Structure 1
Amino acid sequence: MFGGAGFIAVFVVAHLVQPTVDPSWQPPSELALGATGWVMTTAFLLLAAASVGLFLALTSQAVTWPGRIGLAAVLLAATGFVVAAIFPTDPATTPPGEMTLTGTLHSIGPVLADGIPIAAVILAVSLTRHSPQWRRVRWVLVLGAVLTVWAAVLLTVSLAVLMPETGRLGPDVPVGWQGRFLLAADAVWLAAVGGCALAIRRGAAPGASDISAPTLSGRAS
Structure 2
Amino acid sequence: MEPGDQCAVALPTAATGFFSYFVFALLLMHVLRPDYTVVDHMISDYAVGPSGWLMTSAFLSISGGCLVLAISLFRYGPSSWLGRTGATLLLIAFAGLIVTAIYPTDLETAPSTRTGDIHTMSFMVNVLSLFASTLCLALSYGGSQDWRPYGMPALIFAGLLAIAFLAQFLTLHRGAPYGITNRLFVAVLMAWLISNSLWLRTIASAKVGRQAS
Query: TM-score scaled by structure 2?
Result: 0.85
Aligned AA for 1:140?
P
176, 180, 198: which one pairs with 1:195? 198
Distance 1:138 1:197, change over 3 A: same
163, 170, 173: which one pairs with 1:150? 163
Contact 2:139 2:151 in 1 (8 A): no
1:103-140 CA deviation, whole Å, 9 max, x = no partner? 111011211112111111111111321x2110012233
Aligned AA for 1:127?
Y
1:204 aligns with 2:186: no
Instruction: After TM superposition, give the deviation of residue 209 of structure 1 in Å.
Output: 5.4
Quote the Cα distance in structure 1 between the aligned partners of 2:90 and 2:153. Answer: 17
Residue matched to 2:133: 119
Residue matched to 2:46: 31
Residue matched to 1:68: 84
Aligned AA for 1:139?
M
179, 182, 203: which one pairs with 2:182? 179
90, 111, 121: which one pairs with 2:106? 90
1:176-211 CA deviation, whole Å, 9 max, x = no partner? 11111112222211111011011100011233456x
1:127-184 CA deviation, whole Å, 9 max, x = no partner? 321x21100122331222122222111111223xxx2xxxxx3xx3321111111122
Contact 1:80 1:112 in 2 (8 A): yes
Gaps of 5+ in 1: 164-168, 211-221
Aligned AA for 1:76?
I
Instruction: After TM superposition, give the deviation of residue 5 of structure 1 in Å.
Output: 1.9
Quote the Cα distance in structure 1 between the aligned partners of 2:91 and 2:124. Answer: 13
Residue matched to 2:95: 79
Instruction: After TM superposition, give the deviation of residue 35 of structure 1 in Å.
Output: 2.1
Contact 1:3 1:47 in 2 (8 A): yes
Moved over 4 A (4+): none
Aligned AA for 2:102?
I
Quote the Cα distance in structure 2 between the aligned partners of 1:192 and 1:138. Answer: 12
120, 142, 146: which one pairs with 1:128? 142
Number of matched residues? 196
Aligned AA for 1:71?
A
* % same residue: 26
Aligned AA for 2:91?
L
Query: TM-score scaled by structure 1?
Result: 0.83
Quote the Cα distance in structure 2 between the aligned partners of 1:73 and 1:126. Answer: 14
Residue matched to 1:217: none
Instruction: After TM superposition, give the deviation of residue 25 of structure 1 in Å.
Output: 0.9
Aligned AA for 1:180?
R
Aligned-residue RMSD, C-alpha: 1.6
Aligned AA for 1:66?
L
Quote the Cα distance in structure 2 between the aligned partners of 1:66 and 1:12. Answer: 33
